[in-house]
């Protein structure tokens, strides 16, 4: 059964928010768009793995998607009473080559080669870290295996003849359940009693950390780089005007009662907090009372009262 479900990555949320708040000609925009494309491909590969793991007998396995333990992150951990499996998910198109002589991993696509970090080495390092983590938390050890999930069967996996054992570890996502079933037969002895299995589960869930990513620091962007005002979603005119309880576009005359919600949530997601004065600058609207009502209606978490009130993102 799934003990921890994968969430939509914070990196993707913040990348989308940045692109909505930055000017189309901002110098960092292309870098953000490229990172968004890569990270979205990675997330898609992880979801493909999640889908195929759904075919495992749910009563036999605990599945932890996107596990964030102190100091390392595991794309997926499968745990049962006999063993645990660390699964690294990769979403590459083209032809993947694991070169045993040069110890390199590269992708060939459109007649061009591009090197990447070796996912097998990554998985081995995560195994070492997990073993140390078990010792630190005094959990009963059990056999730990690693698998590399290649998202889609259209991706070709190649290696030299002397490295045929590679395919014991590297396979397409649709084959992962078969690999785990084979491990279940390979390890017939129970390593964890129900008590120790519960202790493993409780400790994993307790130690799992929320994803952290400071997009502004990473891309060296300041809040002053954000566009101010509300852009019309119909014709993109900026700013919309507040008239009789609605936001109205001077360009196409479109109206909306909720046009302020998106910009405020984007700001909170990226900057982490917002005051009434911040909101006035953001919305291009300088009526303190009305802005206070708009913020209160959003039912955001806050600290302080009156002029000292600070609002936060509703995680």
Q: How far apart are CA 161 and CA 10, in angstroms?
A: 41
What pTM value is reported for the model?
0.91
Please choose, from the candidates 78, 73, 51, the residue with its C-alpha nearest in 3D space to the C-alpha of residue 63. 78
Query: What pairs with residue 245 in β-bridges?
Result: none
Spell out the per-residue pLDDT of the chain, length 315, in tens.
999 999 999 999 999 999 999 999 999 999 999 999 999 999 999 999 999 999 999 999 999 999 999 999 999 999 999 999 999 999 999 999 998 888 889 999 999 999 999 999 999 999 999 999 999 999 999 999 999 999 999 999 999 888 888 999 999 999 999 999 999 999 999 999 999 999 999 999 999 999 999 999 999 999 999 999 999 999 999 999 999 999 999 999 999 999 999 999 999 999 999 999 999 999 999 999 999 999 999 999 999 998 899 999 998
Please choose, from the candidates 164, 51, 33, the residue with its C-alpha nearest in 3D space to the C-alpha of residue 100. 164
Provide the 3-class DSSP secondary structure of residue 1.
coil
Q: How far apart are CA 184 and CA 198, in angstroms?
A: 19
**Can the peptide bond before residue 239 be classed as cis, meaning omega within 30 degrees of 0?**
yes
Q: How far apart are CA 141 and CA 84, in angstroms?
A: 10
What single-letter DSSP state applies at residue 22? B
Question: Count of CB atoms within 10 A of residue 299's CB?
Answer: 8
Q: Which residues contact 161 (CB under 8 A, 6 or more apart)?
A: none
Report whether 84 contacts 145 (CB < 8 A). Answer: yes
Query: What pairs with residue 78 in β-bridges?
Result: 63, 85
Report whether 148 contacts 171 (CB < 8 A). Answer: yes
Integer Rg of the chain from CA: 24
Pairing type for strands 144-150 and 84-90 reads: parallel
């Amino acid at each position: 059964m799934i003990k921890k479900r994968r969430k939509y990555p914070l990196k993707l949320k913040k990348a989308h928010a940045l692109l909505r708040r930055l000017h189309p000609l901002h110098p960092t925009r292309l870098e953000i768009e490229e990172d968004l494309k890569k990270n979205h491909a990675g997330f898609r590969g992880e979801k493909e793995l999640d889908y195929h793991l759904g075919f495992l007998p749910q009563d036999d396995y605990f599945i932890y998607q996107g596990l964030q333990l102190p100091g390392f992150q595991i794309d997926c951990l499968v745990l049962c009473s006999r063993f645990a499996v660390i699964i690294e998910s990769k979403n590459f198109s083209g032809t993947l080559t694991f070169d045993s002589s040069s110890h390199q991993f590269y992708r060939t696509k459109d007649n061009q080669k591009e090197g990447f970090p070796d996912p097998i080495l990554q998985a081995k390092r995560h195994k070492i870290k997990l073993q140390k983590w078990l010792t630190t938390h005094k959990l009963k050890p059990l056999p730990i295996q690693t698998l590399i999930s290649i998202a889609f069967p259209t991706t070709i996996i190649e290696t030299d003849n002397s490295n045929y054992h590679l395919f014991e570890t590297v396979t397409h996502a649709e084959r992962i359940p078969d690999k785990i079933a084979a491990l279940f037969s390979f390890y017939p002895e129970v390593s964890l009693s129900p008590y120790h299995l519960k202790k493993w589960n409780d400790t994993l869930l307790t130690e799992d950390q929320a994803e952290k990513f400071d997009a502004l620091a990473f891309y060296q962007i300041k809040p002053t780089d954000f566009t101010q005002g509300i852009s019309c979603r119909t014709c993109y005119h900026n700013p919309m005007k507040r008239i009789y309880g609605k936001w109205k576009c001077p360009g196409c005359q479109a109206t909306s009662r909720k046009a302020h919600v998106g910009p405020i949530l984007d700001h909170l997601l990226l900057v982490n907090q917002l005051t009434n004065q911040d909101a006035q600058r953001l919305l291009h609207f300088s009526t303190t009372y009305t802005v206070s009502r708009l913020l209160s209606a959003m039912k955001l978490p806050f600290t302080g009262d009156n002029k000292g009130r600070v609002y936060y993102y509703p995680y």
